[in-house]
Structure 1
């Protein structure tokens, strides 16, 4: 591999590694490093409603920027982490959380595949049990067996 190609690949890899850091604009950063750390931690837990598979900390969408600013405003206003999360959830619903809270709804969602698997297994077992013949096995009489043997051994072309 040539040196210029290796350098190009290195620069490209470094640019891709630092790409998520570009989502938070310098004008959004809080002056207090402890508050900024809290804001980054919280915004890493919130889903971008536009991108949906990224946190608002990683997204460049306008809505994600607005949410980052809102998180920082709430933190600067003295809200605790749970108050900030509760406020965002009250406005956007549980879907905004990248890691949903444990509740009866989420427990039902996690349990549903197992319950459906058990129900499916029981259904298959009942179906197979009903398919089993309840009648005694029918056997050929001695005369019928002899005739069948004669037909099978007949060497006609």
Structure 2
């Protein structure tokens, strides 16, 4: 029974191990030949978050997923796509969390409005207290 369980666990772990053993995508660590296109790719990669690391951009991360994302960015830049179109594709594919430059939408507007409301409330309370002292 123990041998069967060990064999079963080993077979279940093989896909996970195999995923990290895949060779990196061609443009994961290789820059584009055209310096202008590579600059566009680098600028875009600095604004996209690594979904595995979450605190690093895909330009700074060594995670395999970040390498795949770098490959996608460089391939699409080399094909002539606009960086904003690539960003939109990444957001559509991975969600708004992937972008360090969030857009105001129906689901994110409170994140932009609540800090302003809190600042206005603090200023109002401070002005009321200063009037009472004066």
Same fold (TM over 0.5): yes
104-113 or 79-88: which moved more?
104-113
5+ long unaligned stretches in structure 2: 1-26, 122-134
Separation in structure 2 between the aligned mates of residue 37 and residue 45 of structure 1, nearest angstrom: 13
Q: CA deviation at 1:51?
A: 0.6
Residue 98 (structure 1) aligns with: 100
Answer 1 or 2: higher relative contact order, Cα 8 Å, separation at least 6. Answer: 2
2:36 is the alignment partner of 1:34:
yes
Separation in structure 2 between the aligned mates of residue 45 and residue 75 of structure 1, nearest angstrom: 15
**Aligned pairs (5 A) from 1:6-85:** 27-85=29-87
Residue 150 (structure 1) aligns with: none
Report if aligned partners of 1:28, 1:68 keep a CA contact under 8 Å in 2: no
Separation in structure 1 between the aligned mates of residue 33 and residue 79 of structure 2, nearest angstrom: 14
Change (3 A) 1:92 1:29: same
Separation in structure 2 between the aligned mates of residue 31 and residue 49 of structure 1, nearest angstrom: 27
Larger radius of gyration: 1
Match of 2:107, SS state, is helix
84-93 or 107-116: which moved more?
107-116
5+ long unaligned stretches in structure 1: 1-24, 119-157
Separation in structure 2 between the aligned mates of residue 98 and residue 27 of structure 1, nearest angstrom: 22
Match of 2:55, SS state, is coil
**4+ runs deviating over 6 angstroms:** none
C-alpha RMSD of matched pairs (Å): 2.4
Q: CA deviation at 1:113?
A: 5.0
Residue correspondences, number: 96
Q: TM-score, normalised by structure 2?
A: 0.63
2:90 is the alignment partner of 1:88:
yes
**Aligned pairs (5 A) from 1:116-131:** none
